[in-house]
Structure 1
Amino acid sequence: MGFQHGLSGISAAAANLDVIGNNIANTNTVGFKQSQAQFSEVFANSLSTSNRQAGMGTEVSTIAQQFTQGNISTTDNPLDIAINGKGFFRMSDAGNISYSRNGQFHVDSAGFIVNANNLNLTGFMADPAGKITAATPTNLKLTTANLAPQATSSFTSELNLDSRTPVSVPISAFDATDPTTYASTTSGSIFDSLGNSHIFSLFFQKNDTNSWNAYATVDGAMDGAMDEDSGLPISIKLGGAEGEPQKFTFDKDGVLTTPDKPVDVFVTLANDTVSPLKFKLDLTKATQFGEKFSVNSLVQDGSSSARLAGFSVSEDGMISGNYTNGAVRTLGQTVLANFSNPQGLASLGGNQWAETASSGQALVGPPQSGTLGSLQSAAVEDSNVNLTDELVNMITAQRVYQANAKSIETQDAVLQTLVNL
């Protein structure tokens, strides 16, 4: 027995205690991956092939990080993002790329998504139409500009006109304020070029067995009415000639025959800055069945100006802006990176790793592609340290340390015996 064995054992046990202590210290560190000290035996160099070598002790061969999945905990921050599966967030520090499992992000004063150390989250940006441009990942920046208004270009309704409605003879002149001059009505919002909302109403008057007249008003005003504020006339042209109704005819099965395509609607308001309004009125799915008048759907594509109200991140990394008018616009997409040998990554501290020759090159792509995991918004990945296991490991390492110290004490006693001879 030599002192070398005990000294190597004490050194290895001390290193193991350091690793265990670091694991325990980071039990509450988001995205932390525990480490494990791995040991190997030591033999003296020898030309002998004898199997009677006792060995020279032990050494720490490596300290390997364990990239197992941590538990996922929910938070109140929509920009807290947890990775469920393989992959790392790709972070940039003025172009210096690092990788992390810590998804605690926020938006800085310039609109960039950053972590607590002001490193930028990278991904793909979206164009003004919300389409992702999947090129080289760049620093993700969320625009907080108001959403521009969009004038209505189409107004679509699926409705049923009651075939049992009697024909008015003679046909009364349409008057939106007189319910006896029409059988049914429905209305919805349309938007002008400045995002102002207007109420567009349709009125249906039966003029024959399978034929109806359709009239329209805007903000309650009929065609030819005078605007109360400006004194200027309001013009509403529904499909045909100005001031004339749009005729709808059905076959014996209650299916619309004419018009067989959307009709143009022109609206001239007293406000010349937003006039005229022009959009397509699509009633091609209208029916005439023997049941009460009903509206099954009412859809138009215009919108008012809106402010950004919040963010959300989908499982595939799409970052969406939610606006006050109910619109949702794609702003960007987070990317993830994976490695053929994650244990070859170099730890930089601060929950960051760097690529090395041992790890291999980063394989970058959108979440849920290839072997990359999915994302969960308003959540973080907890440390994968099992505190109970680490406390047991610490007791074991302490015992190993004490045993190696005892071997040195024993060797000292043997040496003292030899000295005393």
Structure 2
Amino acid sequence: MSFYTSLSGLKGAQTDMSVISNNIANAGSIGFKRSAAQFGDIFASSPSQSTKTIAGQGQRLNGITQQFTQGSYETSEKTLDMAIVGEGFFVVKGAPPTNAVTYSRNGAFTPLEDGTVVDTTGSTLQLLPVDTDGNVTDASLGGAYDLVLPKVSSTNPDADLVNVSVGIDGLVSATFADGSTEKLGKIAMASFPATEGLRPVGDAHWQSTGESGAPVIDSPGSGAMGAVRSGALERSNVDITEELVLLIAAQRNFQANAKAIEGASTLTQTVINMN
């Protein structure tokens, strides 16, 4: 039995090292959120047995949870590079035919030739409609639409686009050569009842699940939503020093369990030799 007990610890330490290694590998990834492996002990006995005479039977992996703490910020010279200060996720929509909606902390957005603003995966940033005063008129996923930068003013076809600004409240405004401005909408953001239940799909993107609950859509600075900082990017929340310490501990656990298996093997061999 000691073989299997130590084997469960060996597998657990290996999983722990894999999780930590992934954290370290993504220390420079924009918007990455570190994960941590959580373990529990295995204990089994029959109703007629006394638990005072039963040893534990090892450990098991209870889950790998993501840590959605705030990452540090890196300044950028691009207006469409955005970082979320606080809670929430950018809402982005994939290309047809799936049009899959995902939620991201990766605020590296770039305009395409047609003016569509996309992230590093090619998904389009979503906006919420606003009135003339900049107030959101439809805070729902169904009311969101793609952010497309206009090339000319809607009221003056001869006035080209000269500047785009993003406020901390997520209001995207376009300024044209004739001095006029247009409010394009507010950046759509999402929050969840149980953020840890989100399903990661890579590139600091997540999908909602039954465990995370349905998304609550709103603009930056509203409710639980954080503000948006233009000209900045959120780095990963990985602390290299902490991860290296955890890696050393995981290595020691692996070595100790391997030593326990070696000890059990020696005892078994001794018993065999007695016969």
Q: TM-score if structure 1 supplies the norm length?
A: 0.60
Q: How does 1:17-416 map to 2 (within 5 A)?
A: 17-44=17-44, 46-48=46-48, 50-52=50-52, 53-93=54-94, 94=96, 95-125=99-129, 134-135=137-138, 136-146=143-153, 148=155, 306-416=159-269
CA 332–418 in structure 1, closer or farther in 2 if over 3 Å, else same? same
From the CA coordinates, give the structure whose radius of gyration is larger: 1
Matched position secondary structure for 2:51: coil
Taking the aligned partners of 2:21 and 2:163, their CA distance within structure 1 comes to 40
CA contact (8 A) 1:122 1:139 kept: yes
Query: How far apart are 1:142 and its partner, in Å?
Result: 1.8
In the aligned structure 1, how far is the partner of 2:104 from the partner of 2:216?
A: 14
> In 2, Cα distance between the equivalents of 1:339 and 1:147?
36
SS of aligned partner of 2:33:
coil
1: CA distance, partners of 2:49 / 2:171:
63
1:125 touches 1:140 (CA, 8 Å); kept in 2?
no
**SS, match of residue 400 in structure 1:** helix
In 1: Cα distance, 2:7 partner to 2:44 partner: 15
Structure with greater strand share of residues? 1
For residue 360 of structure 1, what is the amino acid of its counterpart?
G
| Shift, 1:417, TM fit | 1.0
Task: Provide the rounded CA distance (Å) in 2 between the counterparts of 1:32 and 1:81.
Answer: 15
Q: Partners in 2 of 1:125 and 1:78 — Cα distance?
A: 20
Unaligned runs of 5+ in 2: none
Q: Which residue identity is paired with 1:34? A: R
Structure 1, unaligned runs of 5 or more = 150-193, 195-304
Cα shift at 1:100: 0.8
Residue 8 of structure 1 is matched in structure 2 by: 8
- Counterpart CA distance in 2 for 1:323 and 1:104 is 24
Q: Is the 8 A contact 1:124 1:132 kept in 2?
A: no
Cα distance between partner residues in 1 of 2:217 and 2:129:
15
Give the letter for the 2:92 counterpart: M
Indicate if the aligned counterparts of 1:130 and 1:329 stay in contact, CA closer than 8 A. Answer: no
Give the drift of 1:369.
Answer: 0.6
| 8 A Cα contact 2:106 2:203, kept in partner | no
Which residue in 2 is equivalent to 1:241? none
1:143 aligned counterpart, secondary structure: coil
Note if contact 2:152-2:159 (Cα within 8 Å) is conserved in structure 1. Answer: no
Measured in 2, the distance between the counterparts of 1:146 and 1:347 equals: 39
Which amino acid letter does the alignment assign opposite residue 68 of structure 1? T
SS at match of 2:252: helix
- CA drift at 1:126: 5.4
Distance in 2 (CA, whole Å) between partners of 1:147 and 1:90 is 26
Q: Secondary structure at the match of 1:24?
A: helix
- CA gap 1:143/1:404 in 2 versus in 1, 3 angstroms: same
The separation in 1 between residues aligned to 2:15 and 2:234, in whole angstroms, is 27
Q: Secondary structure in 1 aligned to 2:268?
A: helix
Is the CA contact 1:130–1:331 (under 8 Å) kept in the aligned structure 2? Answer: no
> How many pairs align?
266
For residue 259 of structure 2, give the secondary structure of its aligned residue in structure 1.
helix
Distance 1:126 1:308 in 2: 20
- What SS does the corresponding residue of 1:372 show, helix, strand or coil? coil
Q: Aligned-pair distance for 1:130?
A: 8.1
- Secondary structure at the residue paired with 1:122? strand
SS at match of 2:114: coil
TM-score by length of 2: 0.91
Which residue of the partner structure matches residue 220 of structure 1?
Answer: none
After TM superposition, give the deviation of residue 55 of structure 1 in Å: 1.1
